[in-house]
Amino acid sequence: MLDVKIDQFSYNKNEPILENIHFNIKPGEIIGLIGQNGAGKSTTIKTILGLTKGSEHLVTFKQEEVLSYIPERPIIYEELTVWEHIELCASAHQLTEWEPEANRLLKLFRLYEKSQSYPKDFSKGMQQKLMFILAYLPSPDYYIIDEPLMGLDPPSIKVILEFLQAEKQRGAGILMCTHALDTAEKHCDRLIILADKTTIFQGTLQELKEVTGNADGDLLDCFTDLVQSKDVIYD
Ligand SMILES: Nc1ncnc2c1ncn2[C@@H]1O[C@H](COP(=O)(O)OP(=O)(O)OP(=O)(O)O)[C@@H](O)[C@H]1O
């Protein structure tokens, strides 16, 4: 289990951004981290990755466990081809026998014919799919994903969601921050809602319906009601 405890973080001393956040990610579950613009989703992810300076936090998982991060904006080396990106990733993780899996994923994401091309010239969606391949290669125990579906065409969204479900079945724990509430509703086992610098809800959609008295509502209805009931002001 990956345990996240953020006591406090602020970019500028006088303006706290995150306070008293505590949640965990268990193997074999997909968690949706949701919240309105500026709620602190990306900052929470950065803190998990140890990229926020001066934050008071504790992130624990087993030493041998591997965590893969997929950023919202793909990170591409201009001078490397798709295949060279994959080779670099395999070498960094000291992987053996990685080529069949790399080829399987290239085919799955329709990038196989492009493996000798330079991804700097790809569309954002194609670059994002390369990020997924690189994240997958070391068989991570956890995925931390910032807006996984942004910029993807509908068939690619389907492929990525099937991929995430397969990884969940393999036993990976997945945290994804997303504004796609219909997708979160269908695919996330648990939801964490951020507002007012902290987590205002953690649990299943069913539990959220109960908390908000929205038996027939969808996630959007529940989310809106919850955020309004906490007197959180919309931007
Ligand atoms: N580098 C930074 N320096 C100062 N403030 C920042 C910085 N990055 C984010 N913030 C502030 O921190 C708060 C949380 O931002 P964050 O990007 O984590 O929100 P988010 O929930 O991911 O938003 P969105 O849904 O718009 O992506 C916002 O008030 C934002 O202005």
- Atom nearest to 46 CA in ligand 1: 18
Residues 171-196 have a mean pLDDT of 95
Choose the final residue of a domain: 98, 116, 139.
139
Q: Do 36 and 86 fall into the same domain?
A: no
Q: Do 156 and 134 fall into the same domain?
A: no
Q: Do 125 and 145 fall into the same domain?
A: no
Q: Do 135 and 145 fall into the same domain?
A: no
- Alpha carbon 233 to its chain centroid, in Å, reads 26
Q: Do 47 and 92 fall into the same domain?
A: no
* Any ligand 1 atom below 6 A from CB of 43: yes
Averaged confidence pLDDT in the chain: 93
Q: Look at residue 95 and tell me if it is in a domain.
A: yes
* Any ligand 1 atom below 6 A from CB of 77: no
Q: Look at residue 70 and tell me if it is in a domain.
A: no
| Cβ 226 vs Cβ 211: under 8 Å | yes
pTM to 2 decimals?
A: 0.93
pLDDT per residue over 75-125, tens digit each? 999 999 999 999 999 999 999 999 999 999 999 999 999 999 999 999 988
Instruction: Report the CATH number that the domain containing residue 17 is assigned in CATH.
Output: 3.40.50.300
* Any ligand 1 atom below 6 A from CB of 131: no
Q: Do 91 and 161 fall into the same domain?
A: no
Residues 145-155 have a mean pLDDT of 89
Residues 209-217 have a mean pLDDT of 92
Q: Look at residue 32 and tell me if it is in a domain.
A: yes
Q: How many angstroms separate the CA atoms of 42 and 46, rounded?
A: 6
Choose the final residue of a domain: 120, 139, 158.
139
Q: Do 10 and 86 fall into the same domain?
A: no
Q: Look at residue 107 and tell me if it is in a domain.
A: yes
* Any ligand 1 atom below 6 A from CB of 17: yes
Q: Look at residue 121 and tell me if it is in a domain.
A: yes
Residues 42-54 have a mean pLDDT of 93
Q: Three-state SS string across 69-134, please?
A: EECCCCCCCCCCCHHHHHHHHHHHCCCCCCHHHHHHHHHHCCCHHHCCCCHHHCCHHHHHHHHHHH
- Atom nearest to 177 CA in ligand 1: 22
pLDDT-based confidence at residue 231 (cuts at 50, 70, 90):
low
Cα 166 to Cα 94, 134, 144, 179, distances in angstroms: 24, 16, 16, 22
pLDDT-based confidence at residue 190 (cuts at 50, 70, 90):
very high
pLDDT per residue over 36-47, tens digit each? 999 999 999 999
* Any ligand 1 atom below 6 A from CB of 152: no
Q: Do 222 and 202 fall into the same domain?
A: yes
- Atom nearest to 36 CA in ligand 1: 25
Choose the final residue of a domain: 139, 165, 189.
139
Q: Look at residue 90 and tell me if it is in a domain.
A: yes
Ligand 1: residue whose CA is nearest its atom 7: 11
Q: Do 60 and 95 fall into the same domain?
A: no
Number of domains in the chain: 2
Question: At residue 206, does pLDDT exceed 90?
Answer: yes
Percent of the chain predicted with pLDDT > 90 = 85
- Name the more confident of 43 and 233: 43
Domain residues for the domain of 60 are 1-65+141-235
* Any ligand 1 atom below 6 A from CB of 37: yes
Please state the ipTM of this predicted complex.
0.98
pLDDT-based confidence at residue 183 (cuts at 50, 70, 90):
very high
* Any ligand 1 atom below 6 A from CB of 10: no
Q: Do 115 and 204 fall into the same domain?
A: no
Q: Which residue from 42, 196, 198, 234 has its CB within 8 A of the most atoms of ligand 1, so it is best to mutate?
A: 42
Q: Do 5 and 97 fall into the same domain?
A: no
Q: Do 95 and 207 fall into the same domain?
A: no
* Any ligand 1 atom below 6 A from CB of 40: yes
